[in-house]
């Protein structure tokens, strides 16, 4: 297994650390806020574009196919909306699946800062296109563009590996997880608030330019991307050494599955498998939790907002505070196994919850589990890999997460609305348990 030059890397870290971790945290946070603004808008987006495109347009034909599929599965009330949301998010996730390893590999060769500039600019362009998405075609093109440039997370995470020693790597990855949790709480809240602002009420003539009822949300995401672009320009120093760049292979865009299967680092392959199996279960929960709470306990949007806020808050506390303290005493593989065990119990508690307090307890266990699993898998992959391939291997890791987000929402929606919530969450618990079994085979990384 390739080992980085630890002494030289530590010397480089000592020169760059005072600024970089805080800058990277804010870079990730701003990016994730903008990314998640669209989350609460799915059903309303569908209704808007159906009205615009009509039954004969692209979306009308797609809606008819989804309705037919829903009738085939035996539920034509909620399932069409779930299938539509899953399909739109899948387009974005598939593009991230394809491009994340490329951007990560490119940052290994060309440096983190320049690639971040480029991907953030592309993300901003996708939000600007969304502002003027007067038709479903343009909206879909905006999502495609955003997915193709969605390499910010893997590149910024690789920068964390650049500026930390091996001993503190996993604790630093907890900071990355805290940025994720905080961003994914803030973004949907901004999306829900800006969705109440329709620019056409004040300036109806803007409709000729493609401005739509969701343009205020798109403008908020665009503004955040611009802030991130300026922030990177002002504060983000290059974190990758010249020697690490010279050791990196020339990046190229290729079949992501081949890139994953051709990894010659067995421990990295093992962690990726654990993370992917776990992601399938966790994304299934994210996709269906609000439907479960509404169906079983009559939760309204405000109740579900509180529930999701609780999930996010627990996740932030776990990854921002608890996990950093655990890594001072426990190994990464031990923390990973504990997180997977908590998640297995959490899926069962949520799926079979007889009362709201049990639902909250299950969600808390899932937040704790996810808060332990995510920085552990990221940290282990970084520790198993060499200094010259951090961007590539972390890009592959993010790519697999995108693949899980591409296939799971539709499959989870079908299982939830045609079989039952009990069976879906039992399956999620079994997946988490399988991930736990796989994690027991991972070796201890050298430090």
Cβ atoms of residues 323 and 174 within 8 Å: yes
Per-residue pLDDT, 204: 92
pLDDT tens, position by position, 137-188:
899 899 999 999 987 888 988 888 888 887 888 888 888 888 888 887 888 8
SS (H, E, C) 65-130: HHHHHHHHHCCCCCHHHHHHHHHHHHHHHHHHHHHHHHHHHHHHHHCHHHHHHHHHHHHHHHHHHH
Better-scored residue on pLDDT, 138 or 65:
138
Cβ atoms of residues 143 and 126 within 8 Å: yes
- Please report which confidence band the pLDDT of residue 129 belongs to, taking 50, 70 and 90 as the band edges: very high
Per-residue pLDDT, 58: 66
Q: Is the pLDDT of residue 425 over 50?
A: yes
Percentage with pLDDT > 70 across the chain: 86
Cβ atoms of residues 399 and 100 within 8 Å: yes
Better-scored residue on pLDDT, 433 or 85:
433
Show the DSSP H helices in 168-241 as ranges.
169-194, 199-202, 215-235
- Please report which confidence band the pLDDT of residue 287 belongs to, taking 50, 70 and 90 as the band edges: confident
Per-chain mean pLDDT for the chain: 84
* Cα atoms found within 13 Å of the Cα of residue 133, Cβ hemisphere only: 27
Measured N-to-C along each axis, helices 332-351 and 421-439 cross at an angle, to the nearest 10 degrees, of 170
Per-residue pLDDT, 249: 61
Q: Which fold has domain 6-439?
A: Growth Hormone; Chain: A; (1.20.1250)
Task: Dig out the tokens for 202 from the structure.
Answer: 């004040």
Residue 432's nearest CA partner among 280, 311, 269, 312 is: 280
Cβ atoms of residues 399 and 279 within 8 Å: no
Query: What mean pLDDT do residues 60-82 have?
Result: 69
The span from the CA of 290 to the CA of 299, in Å, is 8
The model's pTM is 0.80
- Please report which confidence band the pLDDT of residue 332 belongs to, taking 50, 70 and 90 as the band edges: very high
Per-residue pLDDT, 447: 64
């Amino acid at each position: 297994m390739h080992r980085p030059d630890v002494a030289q890397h530590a010397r480089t870290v000592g020169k760059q650390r005072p600024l970089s971790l805080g800058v990277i945290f804010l870079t990730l946070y701003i990016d994730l806020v903008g990314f998640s603004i669209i989350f609460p808008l799915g059903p309303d987006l569908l209704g808007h574009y159906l009205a615009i495109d009509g039954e004969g347009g692209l979306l009308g034909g797609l809606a008819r196919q989804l309705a037919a599929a829903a009738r085939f599965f035996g539920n034509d009330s909620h399932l069409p909306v779930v299938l539509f949301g899953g399909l739109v998010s899948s387009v974005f996730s598939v593009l991230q699946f394809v491009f994340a390893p490329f951007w990560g590999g490119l940052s290994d060769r060309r440096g983190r800062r320049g690639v971040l500039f480029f991907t953030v600019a592309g993300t901003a362009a996708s939000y600007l296109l969304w502002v003027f998405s007067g038709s479903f075609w343009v909206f879909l093109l905006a999502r495609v563009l955003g997915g193709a440039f969605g390499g910010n997370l893997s590149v910024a995470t690789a920068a964390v590996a650049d500026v930390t020693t091996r001993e503190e790597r996993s604790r630093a990855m907890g900071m990355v997880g805290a940025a994720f949790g905080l961003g994914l709480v803030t973004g949907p809240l901004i999306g829900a608030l800006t969705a109440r602002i329709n620019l056409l009420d004040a300036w109806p003539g803007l409709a000729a330019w493609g401005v739509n009822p969701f343009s205020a949300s798109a403008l908020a995401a665009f503004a955040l991307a611009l802030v991130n672009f300026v922030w990177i320009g002002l504060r983000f120093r290059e974190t990758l050494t010249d020697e690490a760049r010279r050791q990196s292979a020339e990046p190229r865009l290729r079949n992501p599955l081949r890139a994953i299967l051709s990894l010659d680092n067995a421990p990295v392959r093992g962690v990726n498998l654990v993370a992917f199996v776990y992601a399938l279960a966790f994304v299934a929960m994210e996709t269906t939790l609000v439907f479960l709470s509404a169906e079983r306990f009559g939760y309204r949007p405000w109740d579900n907002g509180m529930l999701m806020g609780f999930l996010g808050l627990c996740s932030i506390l776990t990854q921002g505070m608890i996990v950093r303290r655990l890594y001072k005493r426990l190994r990464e593989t031990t923390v990973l196994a504990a997180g997977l065990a908590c998640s297995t119990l959490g899926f069962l508690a949520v799926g079979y919850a007889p009362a709201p307090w049990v639902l909250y307890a299950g969600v808390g266990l899932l937040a704790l589990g996810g808060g332990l699993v995510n920085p552990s898998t990221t940290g282990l992959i970084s520790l198993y890999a060499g200094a010259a391939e951090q961007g590539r291997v972390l890009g592959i890791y993010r790519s697999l997460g995108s693949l899980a987000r591409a296939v799971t929402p539709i499959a989870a929606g079908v299982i939830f609305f045609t079989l039952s919530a009990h069976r879906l969450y039992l399956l999620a618990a079994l997946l988490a348990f399988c991930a736990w079994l796989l994690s027991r085979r991972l070796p201890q990384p050298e430090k």
